[in-house]
Amino acid sequence: MDGGPGALGAAEANHATNSPFRLDGLVSVVTGGAGLYGVGLVEAMAAAGATVVIASRDTAATEAVAARLCSEGRSAVAVELDLADEASIVRFRDHVVAEFGRFDVLVNNAVTRRGGTIDTVTFDDLLATTTVNFAGLLTICRYAGEQMKRQRSGAIVNVSSIYGMVGPQLEVYEGTPLYNPAYYAFDKGGMINLTRHLAADYGRWGIRVNCVSPGGLHTPDQPASFVEAYRRRTPLGRMATGADLAGPVVFLASPAAAYVTGVNLPVDGGWTAI
């Protein structure tokens, strides 16, 4: 078969004899690669054999992650990327292709958080978040997609949220300074349906596009009352860790998911099941 619908992409076919869950030989980009979820995603992809390109505006943080992984025998580099700037996105794509000759996997993990509830968010807040979370997202998919089309293979994995699928359970925030931001439902819900659109459009080139929607990530600074309320609401009885998201993302990026596209996978401990 020659690159049409149903065919394995070139990179996937080259690795069909290895474990299908491996990413050996693939160039994998993770945006927001030094963030809460990002570091775990980068570590997991590197452990699976990928050459990982860690993308962020915060080059000091990404370079530290890359240096640590390289010291452990992994393959990782840090490259600056500003998703609010189209020229930066183009330079980034061209840099990856010039250095590695390929652009196999794009994990869209970066997100801009600005603004509060529907009563406090400002117009400028919404412009700032939408510029990155929508315009930047679609634009990097476009330019990465151009290279993937030339290769006739590739995988895009978008990191959305349960709050792109369902409304917030506001009672879990009661009595805490935490809140569910107003822009989040728009940005993350749009990401899920953009995933379906791109899957339909890019499939003819052997490019797969999928999405994961994680539940709440546990961090040390969260109030105990919030963590307990969230735990009680979730069938698995706990909040998410970075490791919980890494496995599904590696799976969707890997040849093991060669016939999976257009899927939104909740990684939420059952939150959206009830």
Q: Give me the catalytic one of 143, 163, 184, 230.
A: 184
**What is the C-alpha separation between 194 and 197, in angstroms, rounded?**
5
Count of other CB atoms within 10 angstroms of residue 26: 27
Sign of the CA dihedral running 90, 96, 102, 104: negative
CA 61 to chain centre: 18
Q: Does residue 230 have an active-site annotation?
A: no
What are the structure tokens assigned to 44, written together?
């997991």
Catalytic residues: 184
